[in-house]
Chain A
Amino acid sequence: MAHPALVPPVLVDPLPEYEDSVGPRRRRPSAWHLLLLPLSLVMLTPLAWMVVTAVSTVQESRQFPPRLPSSIQWSNFVAVWTTAPFGRWLINTAVVSAIVVASNLVFCSLAGYAFARLRFRGSGLAFMLLLATLMVPFQVVLIPTLLIVKSFGLIDHLGALIVPNLVTAFGVFMMRQFFLALPPELEEAGRMDGASRAGVFLKIVTPLMGPALATLAILTFLSIWNDFLWPLVAIQSPENMTMQLGLSTFQGSHLTDWPLLMAATLMSQLPVILLFLAGQRMFVRSIASSGIK
């Protein structure tokens, strides 16, 4: 064998390019469409049918087998606004959501940060108790909460929907997890640079809370939006009802006027569906992260 020093180095050929998947070759439509398309249509059917019925007349809705309406009846939508305090329901829900979300963002961040970063006597016990409340189903505290709210004179008042929800244990837990995951060096650097504890929180930590706050906001909003049992029990007057509650009473009193009912349902869901479509990536990410327990 020749001495290695005598063999001149050889230039190795560059590797041939991989067959590029993008190219003139026409891509065949995937077979998955055969499965996904019917699936999506089935999932969308209830919503689609709701829309169809909402623009039908009562007679058209009583056809069997059902037929598509001959013309679009906008009158149903108008009727909903006039026969029920629909606008009030919308405003009530919006007000309650806004206040509850805002207060949760503030209080859960403060508490979550304190539990994650600050050391003070009693913090362990306080956090344990907080966690414990997470395990208790709402139905257990339903009646006593009602009695407490009654003693504050908030029955049949929007306050009954707001006050018990100003802070949620879940929100605190979530924010604590977030703060625990922040690298402590950032705050240490801040302290070395001379910021006080509050300064560190406001100037360094708060700007980084964006995504976590967005998630908390979305999840809190969804839970308020969906809440039914509590408003059912705490609110009686139609003007103070939330959308959910209002819709159910509406349904109770217009049982056979399906177009009217569907119009009401459609209008009640439209804001949230539009919100979802606008921010669906954030929504989906928030819901996915609620699974990381």
Chain B
Amino acid sequence: MAPIVLDGIRKVYPGKPPVVALESLDLTIDDGELVAFVGPSGCGKSTVLRCVAGLEKLSAGRVVIGGREVQELPPGRRDIAMVFQTYALYPHLTVYKNLAFPLKERHVPRERLDSDVRRVAEMLELTPLLRRRPAQLSGGQRQRVAMGRALVREPVAFLLDEPLSNLDAKLRTQMRTEIAAIHRRLGITTIYVTHDQVEAMTLGDRIVVMRDGRLQQVGTPAQVYENPSNLFVAGFLGTPTMNRIVGHTSHGVVTAGSLRLAVPGAPDGESVLGIRPESLRMEDTHAGWPSFEVAVSHVEALGNENLVHARVAGRPAQLDLDSASALAEDTVVFRAPPKVRPETGGTVRVQLDPSQLLLFDRPTGERIRLLGPATVIDSTEIIH
């Protein structure tokens, strides 16, 4: 076990024009920590992993593992192990031999090798499968063999590249808890790359959100969720996606359609109101909370809750995260308990918890931190 320090690492692929996969990135991962790198495709998270692994050469910067600078060492000498997205099990070897391979390469004596392999197989419930070949295993079993092969060496650091993305949903949930259990039990410093924010949130001691080769935010799942540093992070984490309503701030008041809120400390300019679906309630019971009427456009019944898509009168527009332009649609999404199911086309009243409101500067996407809680300006009767 060892801390991992990424010091100004940078990766540029040659070409016309050259592709910057990783802008200079700094991060310290504590000993025994599981850090989840999350982001959309092409954000550079896999590149970070491969650079730490040694499968890519850095263009600049240092990787320090357990106090050792490793960026010049070949992958086999860094004392780390990796689980590949496609598992990369050796198809011509049995499960036993797959697990034994790293130990054989290190000339571990036979008895110790056997006991190590069996111990790992036991831990991952692979013992009955030891004589089989990868082709005879199910996806979940292969995934466990891949993990076993990585763990059998007791590496100081553990790298996982989207290990669950090839599994079906149910298996994914199951394996998630298993991976969490293994991490708790073994305490190996781990870098976990995924595009699935649920995995990142549930597994990570800390989350690193990346985009376009740059680090967007680092923090615990709670920190990153409740305190996103920019629109991208806020929109990336959380399902359903946060509602992002375009508005305008002037003199400390933000106006978005028929919503008017006092936002102390906010500078003038184009803004975006971030309202998570769980911040909207279908009751009318909280005094001082802004409430407004919405017209229900459709309801998704999920069994455990209902997701209500509704249009806000007064035509505030939603912000499209990818194009950063305002969408014509003005639907917001909020949650309703399973038994409460509003009629499509009907109007309901929703209340917004202003302490959960997030304000972003529209041109830069940066979060605007308020000096005090947001408060309602008007009582919110909507004028159609």
Contacts and interface: CB of A to CB of B under 8 A. Distances in A.
Given A183-B86, A185-B86, A191 B92 contact: no
B80 interface: yes
B358 interface: no
Interface in A166-213: 183, 185-186, 188-196, 199, 203-204, 207-208
A196 B85 CA distance: 22
Contact of A195 (B76, B85, B91, B149): B76
Nearest to A188: B55
Contacts of B54: 191-192
B84 A188 contact: yes
Interface stretch (B100-108, B177-185, B320-328): B100-108
Interface-centre pick from A185, A191, A194, A203 (highest chain B CB count, 10 A): A194
Interface in B115-173: 149, 153
A139 B306 CA distance: 78
Nearest to B50: A188
Interface-centre pick from A191, A193, A195, A203 (highest chain B CB count, 10 A): A193
B106 A189 contact: no
B38 to A, nearest CB: 21
A189 B84 contact: yes
Judged by DSSP, the binding face of A is helix
Contacts of A196: 76
Contacts of B85: 185
Contacts of A208: 91-92
Interface string B65-83: 0000000001111001110
B288 to A, nearest CB: 37
A193 B76 contact: yes
B112 to A, nearest CB: 16
Interface residues of A, number: 17
A13 B161 CA distance: 45
Nearest to B155: A192
A192 B91 contact: no
B262 to A, nearest CB: 45
Contacts of A188: 55, 75, 82, 84, 88
Nearest to B83: A189
A190 B85 CA distance: 15
Given A194-B105, A195-B76, A189 B88 contact: yes
B53 A192 contact: yes
A209 B76 CA distance: 24
B225 interface: no
B75 A191 contact: yes
B90 interface: yes
Contact of B81 (A183, A192, A195): A192
Q: Which 9 A-B pairs have the closest CB atoms?
A: A185-B88, A194-B76, A194-B105, A193-B102, A189-B88, A207-B92, A185-B84, A192-B75, A191-B75
22 contacts: A185-B86, A186-B91, A188-B55, A188-B75, A188-B84, A190-B90, A191-B54, A191-B74, A192-B53, A192-B76, A192-B80, A192-B81, A192-B82, A193-B101, A193-B149, A193-B153, A194-B76, A194-B77, A194-B102, A194-B106, A195-B105, A199-B105
